Amino acid sequence: MTVPPEISITPLTPAIGAEVHGVDLGELDDATIRQIREAFLAHHVLVFRDQSLDRDQHKAIGRLFGDLHIHPSKRTLGAKGDPEIFTVKTDENSVHNNGGRWHMDVSCEEMPPLGSMLLLTEAPPFGGDTLFANMHLAYETLSDPIKELLIKLTARHDGLQDLRWYGVEPKPGQTYPAHSHPVVVRHAETGRPLLFVNEAFTSHIEGLSGAESDALLKMLFTHISGSPSLQCRVRWEPGTLTFWDNRCTQHLAVWDYAPHIRRGERVTIAAATAPAAFGS
Ligand code: SIN
């Protein structure tokens, strides 16, 4: 019997992220897929270098983890292009870069995606990194009284808030998702608690006054963005594919490379369940 080679995993930080070596994502066997699944749950963000994948291969790898997600810009706003591919492109004419604020991808949906796989095809000579933060640790590093307060709360996630940040307004008759989710969520696979609010999509905490909600969210967003020990930073090259667990991480794409171009394609994996409250 042939024993499949072990893949090798190098953590990026103790908190989050790992580089996976010895894997050609175009040639996966069952044993390697199993090791990737384990590493994904352990490190939340996996970085694969030197991948050469066409679109169909990219989608097929995404489908190993679930159905493919269609972004609401394609579903409800009529944006053109392959519905299963989300294109990321920033050049010298861009006004905003995609994902330039801390966020979980489309947390405004009833079932925000399980995860995303972004493959960069063009990278600037330097810069253009993506920061990721671990939402399990974001929750665990809060004080007990604040944890007790948060565990009872729900928050509204409004897609329009994010859309407007990009200067986009739906046309008359077009809708964009908005949903409420628990502020502290149980991870669908590991059961671990995690903080589920983000600067891009979360408009307010329900049942609080506007001033209370703003103050609490500001404290939580500062905790996430201002705690480097929760984070890692992924450096990209053409052919780098990064697979993140959208259920328990947030990310921010740094735009520090103008006038250079950064381009890639993202395949996103749909979740099978909506975020459930921890403790429910
Ligand atoms: C995104 O928010 O999905 C984009 C991340 C990136 O471009 O690094």
**What digits encode the pLDDT tens for the residues 248-280?**
999 999 999 999 999 999 999 999 999 999 987
Q: Is 142 in the pocket of ligand 1 (CB under 6 A)?
A: no
Nearest ligand 1 atom, CA 97: 7
Q: Is 217 in the pocket of ligand 1 (CB under 6 A)?
A: no
Peptide bond into 259 cis (omega under 30): yes
- Gap from CA of 268 to ligand 1 centroid (Å): 11
- Asked if residue 156 lies in contact with residue 245, where contact means CB atoms within 8 angstroms, the answer is no
At 3 the three-state DSSP class reads coil
Q: Is 118 in the pocket of ligand 1 (CB under 6 A)?
A: yes
Other CB atoms within 10 A of residue 223 CB: 17
Supply the mean pLDDT for the chain.
95
Q: Which residue has the higher pLDDT, 75 or 201?
A: 201
Residue nearest to atom 2 of ligand 1 (CA): 99
What would the mean pLDDT of 101-126 be, rounded to a whole number?
97
Q: In whole angstroms, give the CA distance from residue 217 to residue 210.
A: 11
Structure tokens at 25: 């994502």
- Gap from CA of 86 to ligand 1 centroid (Å): 10
Q: Is CATH 3.40.50.2300 correct for 8-272? A: no
- Gap from CA of 85 to ligand 1 centroid (Å): 13
In this prediction the pTM is 0.95
Residue nearest to atom 1 of ligand 1 (CA): 99
pLDDT bin (cut points 50, 70, 90) of residue 170 is: confident
pLDDT on residue 80: 81
Task: Give the phi and the psi of residue 217 in degrees, each rounded to 5.
Answer: -65, -40
What would the mean pLDDT of 175-180 be, rounded to a whole number?
94
Residue matched to tokens 């489908």: 63
Q: Is 47 in the pocket of ligand 1 (CB under 6 A)?
A: no
> Mind listing the pLDDT tens digit for each residue in 72-92?
888 888 778 899 999 999 999
> Mind listing the pLDDT tens digit for each residue in 181-196?
999 999 999 999 999 9
